């Protein structure tokens, strides 16, 4: 059974709390790089919350846009990889095979969303944090590219479980760490091919937009634009 | 057909013995200055090797590249050196096909630039890899991993384009060296004779051998031109294929090829000036050669300014938000100094020097060439870095600053180029002796006349001038 996993992010609900970022770090064994490297731009967050300011002082409003990998249907990162480290898997996800990556970094240049992160050095965890790594996710070594996987370990676990029980995965049966941890319920995850799923219903909303749709990447992440921004226009 | 190829450069005739004596001198005699220069050049090369090993050991993060500028100095150097390689083989092939008589002293030193610049350029994609020890995964071979490399990736096209170009230009360089190596063999003794006996591949100088050599060179000259053009087009596609603002441009193919030939000719002029000065080749590399190549450089300078104008005008007129960020950072942002230095180096300085006949002297063309080489390096840098700093989402913009690792490796490759060239001059007569001698004979002997000269003493045969009908 093939699925087409997708996500909807409601920008009106996002409070910018970054719980998704913290959850993602914990779930996916993402190393922290230290403040010097972070200032240089080398911080790794598979999902990041971009903060934008609107209006003139003192009437300033902040709004937020969480950006994970957009899991594009026509992903620019995939054809450029010479070793198939970046490839399209059967579920339509932009998968990354760490062991195949030789570190050309071409995929990261090609990605319009800057959704790819590079291990400039071997990751380090201060003791005892090295004991709390998620055993379901491989730890990446220096010089390989990594990115949001939509928590592929959870997808696979659910697929295997459903397969053994000879049934389809139910809508909302599982979700990636970011969706699970969002206190505002701003993120919804599910199968876009199932017309009854919440994610497919919301992605057809009139508020639904794709980020940088002009680049022609056909992302599987839909943003529900802010109602509040409409009145301003 | 052949007589019209005698250019004014060859008006003062030199005897065959004199030519052999002059051109073989650097091969047989090694001065103390040679060892000194070679030793000095190894210092930056060893430093560069050390820097690379350090980078491989510590992690690619010791270089200044960062997010979002994932490519920096290394890819700049890659494009720059592949560009430099375009002088030699391409110009030599065109001049051979056009049967331009003045080419004779120029071709070999041009072809050597191609081969060495290619070797250096091709090393950069490996140097820049995060895991350089796995570079061979780009090679399609049946492996235990059970997967082929991705033929859709421009990096793989690079691999094949550069591989083809190195093979072709090496053949093109070595073919016409064979008779000259045979000459060295015949004149040498001891260990030198043993080495050159192997290198000369048993060349005896029979008419049949000459005919085959000519045929081979004619085929190579025709074949190498499309290869050379395609190589830099494919290099440009490394950028043009990615949807990065200001990379994603259809003009990149011809723009890169023009820039490559431009910088290549400049490198050739500089190399020729060094050879003329240090090897005392005043009788061989004459002002007319610099004058002719200077005109070619002038043409390429005009072509370059046309291309950069066409590229920038369309971006500016199109006025896409994402592209304009990178555009303005180059035109009047933090890269503006580099941009205008580039325009000065590539056009405003060389154009008057090369356009005014009085200034188009040896010194003038060398000055223009030095500025062009500098300007073209900056051009490659400006193509790569500013667009990466300003991709679509402003939140992910960033800065690039090279570290000592990148600078050391960059400096080392210039020394490596000089050392490789120096060693080449030591092992090979840098001016093709038999071709130059052939150019001295009016009318040149036809193949029939050479065949009629039998029996010839074996020692003399290899120094026989060839016919002038070779392409």
Q: What is the pLDDT of residues A47-81, one digit of tens each?
A: 999 999 888 888 888 899 999 999 999 999 999 99
Report the run of H or E that residue A208 belongs to, with start and end: strand A208-209
Q: Is A5 helix (H, G, I), strand (E, B) or coil?
A: strand
Option in A42, A84, A215 nearest B67 (CB): A42
pLDDT for res A74: 94
Q: Is A87 helix (H, G, I), strand (E, B) or coil?
A: strand
Phi, psi of A10 (to 5 degrees): -90, 110
- For residue B155, the chain A residues in CB contact (below 8 A) are 80, 82, 104, 106
**Cβ(B55)–Cβ(B62) under 8 Å?**
yes
Q: Mean pLDDT across the stretch B160-171?
A: 94
Residue of B394, B390, B242, B382 whose CA lies nearest to B323: B390
Residue stretches of chain A with pLDDT short of 50: 233
pLDDT for res A55: 87
Interface of B to A at Cβ within 8 Å reads 58-61, 65-68, 70-71, 125, 128-131, 134-135, 137-138, 145, 147, 149-150, 152-156, 159, 238, 241-244, 388, 391-393, 395-396, 398-399
Task: Please name the residue that has the structure tokens 């994610």.
Answer: A199
Report the run of H or E that residue A27 belongs to, with start and end: helix A19-27
- For residue B396, the chain A residues in CB contact (below 8 A) are 114
In A, minimum Cα distance to B393 occurs at A113
Q: What number is the ipTM of this complex?
A: 0.92
In A, minimum Cα distance to B134 occurs at A102
- For residue A212, the chain B residues in CB contact (below 8 A) are 392-393
Residue of B365, B324, B372 whose CA lies nearest to B347: B372
Residue B8 has pLDDT above 80, yes or no: no
Quote the percentage of chain A above a pLDDT of 90.
Answer: 84
Question: How far apart are the C-alpha atoms of B31 and A72, rounded to whole Å?
Answer: 64
Alpha helix ranges (H) inside A30-181 = 35-39, 77-80, 106-110, 152-164, 177-181
Q: Mean pLDDT across the stretch B460-470?
A: 46
Question: Average pLDDT over chain B, rounded to whole?
Answer: 88
pLDDT for res B86: 87
In B, minimum Cα distance to A142 occurs at B59
Report the run of H or E that residue A212 belongs to, with start and end: none
Option in A76, A113, A122 nearest B393 (CB): A113
Mutate to test the interface with B, among A50, A72, A104 (most CBs of B within 10 A): A104
Q: Mean pLDDT across the stretch B192-202?
A: 90
Q: Which two tokens stand for residue B370?
A: 């030095």
Sequence-ordered list of residues with C-beta below 8 angstroms from that of B154, at least 6 positions apart, any chain? A80, A106, B234, B237, B238, B241
pLDDT for res B278: 87
Q: What is the pLDDT of residues B346-388, one digit of tens each?
A: 999 999 999 999 999 999 999 999 999 999 999 999 999 999 9
The residue with greater pLDDT, B451 or A7, is A7
Question: How far apart are the C-alpha atoms of A3 and B227, rounded to whole Å?
Answer: 45
**CA-to-CA dists, residue A21 to A13, A25, A33, A124, B64, angstroms:** 16, 6, 15, 19, 26
Residue B406 has pLDDT above 80, yes or no: yes
User: What number of helices (H) and strands (E) belong to chain B?
Assistant: 19, 0
Taken in order of first residue, the domains within chain A and their CATH numbers are 5-232 (3.30.70.20)
Residue B453 has pLDDT above 80, yes or no: no
- B131 and A143 within 8 Å at the Cβ level: the answer is yes
Sequence-ordered list of residues with C-beta below 8 angstroms from that of A182, at least 6 positions apart, any chain? A19, A20
- A37 and B243 within 8 Å at the Cβ level: the answer is no
Query: Minimum mean pLDDT among B103-112, B257-266, B459-468: which range?
Result: B459-468
Option in B68, B159, B242 nearest A41 (CB): B68
Mutate to test the interface with A, among B146, B393, B399 (most CBs of A within 10 A): B393
Distance from CA of A177 to the nearest CA of B (A): 23
- B130 and A101 within 8 Å at the Cβ level: the answer is yes
Question: How far apart are the C-alpha atoms of A74 and A94, rounded to whole Å?
Answer: 10
Instruction: Please state the pTM of the whole predicted model.
Output: 0.91
- For residue B67, the chain A residues in CB contact (below 8 A) are 41-42, 108, 114, 117-118
Cross-strand partners of A188: A8
Sign of the alpha-carbon dihedral angle for B358, B362, B368, B371: negative
Taken in order of first residue, the domains within chain B and their CATH numbers are 21-432 (1.20.1630.10)
Residue B280 has pLDDT above 90, yes or no: no
Sign of the alpha-carbon dihedral angle for B444, B446, B452, B453: positive
Distance from CA of A190 to the nearest CA of B (A): 26
Question: How far apart are the C-alpha atoms of B347 and A231, rounded to whole Å?
Answer: 52
pLDDT for res B461: 46
Phi, psi of A209 (to 5 degrees): -135, 160
The residue with greater pLDDT, B101 or A44, is A44
The pLDDT-based confidence of B9 (bands split at 50, 70, 90) is very low
Task: For residue A170, give the DSSP letter.
Answer: P
- For residue A41, the chain B residues in CB contact (below 8 A) are 66-68, 398-399
Q: What is the pLDDT of residues B52-100, one digit of tens each?
A: 999 999 999 999 999 899 999 999 999 999 999 987 888 888 888 888 8
pLDDT for res B29: 82
The residue with greater pLDDT, B448 or A208, is A208
Q: What is the pLDDT of residues B251-278, one digit of tens each?
A: 999 999 999 999 999 999 999 999 999 8
What is the widest separation between alpha-carbon atoms in chain A?
59
- For residue B131, the chain A residues in CB contact (below 8 A) are 101-103, 143-144
Option in A109, A120, A212 nearest B392 (CB): A212
- For residue B130, the chain A residues in CB contact (below 8 A) are 101-105, 118-119, 142-144
Q: Mean pLDDT across the stretch B137-159?
A: 89
Distance from CA of A25 to the nearest CA of B (A): 18
- For residue B156, the chain A residues in CB contact (below 8 A) are 82
pLDDT for res B215: 93
pLDDT for res B448: 54
Option in B66, B67, B150 nearest A81 (CB): B150
């Amino acid at each position: 059974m093939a699925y087409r996993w997708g996500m909807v992010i409601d920008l009106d609900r996002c409070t910018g709390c970054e719980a998704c970022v913290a959850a993602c770090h914990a779930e996916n064994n993402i190393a922290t790089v230290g403040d010097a490297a972070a200032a240089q731009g080398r911080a790794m967050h598979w999902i990041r919350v971009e903060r934008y300011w609107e209006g003139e002082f003192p009437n300033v409003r902040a709004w937020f846009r969480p950006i994970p990998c957009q899991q594009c249907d026509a992903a620019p990162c995939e054809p450029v990889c010479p070793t198939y480290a970046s490839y399209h898997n059967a579920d339509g996800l932009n998968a990354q095979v760490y062991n195949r990556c030789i570190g050309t970094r071409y995929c990261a240049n090609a990605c319009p969303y800057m959704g790819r992160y590079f291990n400039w050095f071997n990751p380090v965890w201060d003791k005892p944090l090295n004991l709390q790594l998620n055993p379901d996710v491989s730890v990446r070594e220096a010089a390989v590219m990594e990115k949001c996987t939509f928590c592929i370990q959870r997808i696979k676990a659910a697929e295997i479980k459903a397969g053994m029980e000879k049934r389809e995965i139910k809508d909302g049966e599982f979700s990636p760490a970011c969706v699970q941890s969002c206190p505002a319920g701003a993120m919804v995850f599910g199968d876009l091919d199932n017309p009854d799923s919440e994610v497919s219903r919301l992605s057809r909303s009139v508020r639904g937009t794709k980020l940088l749709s002009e680049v022609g990447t056909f992302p599987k992440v839909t943003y529900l634009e802010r109602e509040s921004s409409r009145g301003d226009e | 057909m052949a007589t019209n190829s005698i250019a004014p450069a060859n008006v003062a005739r030199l005897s065959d013995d004199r030519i052999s004596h002059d051109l073989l001198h650097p091969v047989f005699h090694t001065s103390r200055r040679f060892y000194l220069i070679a030793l000095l050049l190894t210092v930056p090369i060893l430093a560069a090797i050390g820097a690379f090993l350090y980078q491989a050991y510590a992690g690619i993060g010791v270089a200044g590249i960062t997010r979002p500028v994932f490519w920096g100095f290394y890819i700049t150097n890659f494009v720059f050196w592949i560009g430099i390689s375009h002088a030699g083989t391409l110009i030599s092939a065109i001049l051979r096909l056009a049967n331009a008589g003045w080419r004779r002293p120029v071709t070999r030193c041009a072809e050597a630039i191609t081969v060495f610049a290619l070797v250096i350029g091709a090393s950069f994609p490996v140097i820049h890899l995060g895991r350089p020890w796995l570079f061979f995964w780009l090679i399609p071979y049946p492996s235990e991993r059970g997967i082929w490399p991705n033929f859709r990736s421009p990096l793989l096209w690079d691999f094949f384009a550069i591989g083809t170009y190195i093979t072709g230009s090496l053949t093109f360089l070595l073919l016409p060296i064979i008779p000259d190596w045979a000459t060295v063999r015949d004149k040498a003794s001891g260990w030198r004779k043993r080495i050159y006996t192997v290198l000369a591949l048993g060349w005896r100088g029979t008419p049949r051998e000459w005919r085959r050599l000519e045929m081979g060179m004619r085929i190579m000259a025709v074949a190498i031109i499309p290869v050379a053009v395609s190589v830099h087009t494919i290099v440009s596609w490394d950028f043009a294929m990615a949807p990065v603002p200001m990379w994603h441009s259809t003009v990149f193919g011809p723009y890169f090829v023009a820039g490559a030939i431009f910088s290549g000719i400049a490198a050739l002029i500089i190399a020729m000036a060094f050879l003329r000065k240090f090897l005392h080749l005043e009788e061989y590399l004459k002002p007319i050669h610099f004058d002719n190549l200077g005109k070619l450089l002038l043409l390429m300078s005009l072509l370059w300014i046309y291309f950069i104008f066409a590229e920038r005008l369309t971006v500016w007129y199109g006025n896409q938000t994402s592209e304009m960020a990178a555009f303005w950072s180059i035109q009047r942002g933090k890269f503006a100094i580099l941009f205008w230095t580039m325009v000065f180096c590539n056009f405003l300085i060389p154009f008057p020097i090369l356009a005014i006949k009085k200034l188009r002297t040896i010194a003038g063309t060398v000055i223009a060439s030095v500025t062009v080489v500098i300007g073209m390096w900056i051009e490659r840098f400006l193509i790569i870095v500013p667009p990466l700093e300003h991709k679509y989402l402003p939140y992910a913009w960033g800065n690039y600053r090279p570290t000592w690792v990148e600078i050391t490796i960059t400096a080392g490759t210039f020394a490596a180029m000089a050392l490789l060239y120096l060693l080449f001059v030591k092992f090979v007569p840098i001016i093709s002796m038999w071709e130059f001698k052939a150019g001295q004979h009016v009318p040149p002997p036809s193949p029939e006349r050479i065949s009629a000269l039998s029996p010839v003493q074996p020692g003399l045969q290899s120094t026989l001038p060839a016919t002038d009908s070779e392409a």
